[in-house]
Amino acid sequence: MNTAVFDIETSYLDANAGWMVAGVIEPMGTDKQRVFRIDRYPIYKNDRTDDRSIVREFCDALREYDILVSYFGAPRGHRRGFDIAFLQTRLVIHGLPELEQMFHLDCYEIIRNKFKLHRNSLRVAGKTFNLPTLKEDLPMADFNRAAAGHKKALNRVVSRCQSDVRMTTELYEGICKRFMKQRRTIRAI
């Protein structure tokens, strides 16, 4: 099965008020990451908030995989994961085809349901299980600057997204794979 770990970074936590700034996909079993960043699309020069192209291209890339792995990325039950819900909202806003149902393994669900940590964040899980990659600290100002078009701040946001994908890969391979069941978590609206 073709599996990939992914993460996105956004200008705001709510998809009707924010936009996608960056995304990273790492095919499982490789160290090669596919990096998507909003400033690489021509529309960015005229409108830094228009994420139609990055959302479309990122979601098209996700569709190439049979199984997706994330950390707090999959909506499940009454809890809303972040990444897929954000992407689905942006797809609908832009009139693009939504993501179909697919297998999605969310490491957050394993950490939350199988372990007792003082907090279920990726940072705490990484420290608890001694992952080689540590969560990159970024001040909120960097996210704001990146959304406003500051290239150095956007570089730092992209770097954080890359490290989050690396951490999620390490967590999945080292811990979650033993506990996780595949679940279909993207449902038709």
pLDDT value, residue 67: 93
Sign of CA dihedral 77, 81, 86, 88: negative
Tokens of 126: 């990484």
Domain ranges of the chain: 3-178
- What is the CATH number assigned to the segment(s) 3-178? 3.30.420.10
51 and 19 in contact (C-beta within 8 Å)? yes
Residue whose pair of structure tokens reads 């078009």 in the numeric block: 149
pLDDT of 184: 53
Provide the pLDDT for residue 189.
39
pLDDT in tens, 22-67: 999 999 999 899 999 999 999 999 999 999 999 999 999 999 999 9
* Residue ranges for the chain with pLDDT beneath 50: 78, 182, 188-189
Total count of residues recorded for the chain? 189
Which residues, at least 6 apart from 24, have a Cβ–Cβ distance to it below 8 Å?
A: 6, 7, 8, 33, 34, 35, 36, 158, 161, 162, 164, 165
Q: pTM for the whole thing? A: 0.91
